[in-house]
Structure 1
């Protein structure tokens, strides 16, 4: 399926952070109520056509700060050879490299050093992520910030209002191709705009609850979730249906992520073609 256009109408909501009165949250309802889901290992073509089994792990993960590095380092010490395919190389030669003023995970044979390749007994995928699942903890506690936040993007902006007061604006939106920088347009495929990845059983604000709570806090998430629920009710009222899903009903672009709409329409077309 063709990716949907980047420049599409969006529905946004703003509210004062209940836990931090000096900042306001600006949330992308179109994205947060979309049916995006990670399809790594279940049809993901990968961002590099030459490494289809690597998903979005073909680039080294950039660490945000020392705490980010320390969190991953603590997990590295606990990873056994049965969990991490490239453990020997990582421990002997290092699992991170300097990148100007920051550092990244090493790239080995076309993908991140923490990526277990097809055929590894523990399964294909991120060793850090798999360790979290095995331990029964959220992957955000074991992976680099950029990895667990993807594909949610958090932005900060200082805003001055006409009366001279200021506040910090925190935006939560889609980490689309443009968020990768100029090179994002050269990715062979990317999930957030692809209907292939908009087949989730629940909206993003539900499936990524843990990540959104970590990014915004419990109190702000509670408001965000309520606004998303009200948004979905509004969508249903406009089109005479319930929350958006693979039911084939037309959706207004302003209210529904275009990739979710295309995925829903495609699912309906497939069902209508079935022979009883």
Structure 2
């Protein structure tokens, strides 16, 4: 199936953060209620680089957001054994961190404390096919083995993907202001200009929209970490209400009476791009 457009209409909702009245959370209902799922490990992800199909989206080093992000991952790295991390020897002997120098611009002009090293075409923490513990991120696999959420062991940029959180200061006409937190899809454009050059990317691919649960459920732990448990509770209710409204619309369309000319009423396809992620709709069809 063909990738769906990035600029399709979307349904949004805004609400005041219950834990912080000076903040408002803006959520992309179309994305959060989609059936996107990660295909890595299921044999269906061709990777963002056709030359490294087994690397998924790990062909680039993971850039750390701040010192806390780096410190958290560093502590996990020190606990990884050779049975967990395929490239442990070169990682420890030659270094797994590439530090940014002042003036580096590869992180948007605001360099963080560095990035994971790329070795043999992919992140140094990526276990390759054939490794006894299995292919995939050593940091992720460590979390699963220890019964932890992967967000506690992986760089921020890795566990947040493909959810995008942005901030914006909003000034009202009466002179008041608030911080707006947006939760939406991390699509190709979020990677920067190079995102359009990726050989494949999953968020608008129908083949990746076949999950059993909607995104707001499957990525609950990540969303709670991003906006807090109280804001997530509101988000979850809005998403549930949105899905109920979509189901009611589809049901009513399917049961609509015939027109005077004897033709069945249309099923509202012109409305669905706003209510249902186009890739999810394509997968359902």
Give the TM-score, by structure 2 length: 0.89
Aligned runs of 1:18-33 on 2, under 5 Å?
18-33=18-33
Aligned mates of 1:27, 1:98 — CA distance in 2:
34
How big is the shift at 1:238? 1.1
Aligned to 2:279: 259
Aligned to 1:238: 249
Aligned mates of 2:30, 2:242 — CA distance in 1:
9
| Secondary structure, aligned partner of 1:58 | coil
Aligned runs of 1:29-40 on 2, under 5 Å?
29-40=29-40
Aligned mates of 1:48, 1:264 — CA distance in 2:
27
Aligned mates of 2:73, 2:204 — CA distance in 1:
29
Aligned mates of 2:85, 2:35 — CA distance in 1:
31
Return 5+ residue gaps in structure 2 as ranges: 105-110, 253-267
Aligned runs of 1:125-204 on 2, under 5 Å?
125-204=136-215
Aligned mates of 2:245, 2:169 — CA distance in 1:
31
Aligned mates of 1:24, 1:70 — CA distance in 2:
30
Aligned mates of 1:240, 1:252 — CA distance in 2:
13
Aligned to 2:124: 113
Instruction: Let me know the Cα RMSD of the aligned residues.
Output: 1.5
| Secondary structure, aligned partner of 1:253 | helix
How big is the shift at 1:98? 1.9
Q: Which has the larger radius of gyration?
A: 2
Give the TM-score, by structure 1 length: 0.92
How big is the shift at 1:239? 1.1
Aligned to 1:244: none
Aligned to 2:15: 15
Aligned to 1:93: 94
How big is the shift at 1:112? 0.1
Aligned runs of 1:73-88 on 2, under 5 Å?
73-88=74-89
Structure 1 runs of 4+ off > 3 angstroms?
Answer: none
Return 5+ residue gaps in structure 1 as ranges: 242-248, 266-276
Aligned to 2:230: 219
Aligned to 1:55: 56
Aligned mates of 1:136, 1:37 — CA distance in 2:
21
| Secondary structure, aligned partner of 1:189 | coil
| Secondary structure, aligned partner of 2:141 | helix
How big is the shift at 1:237? 1.4
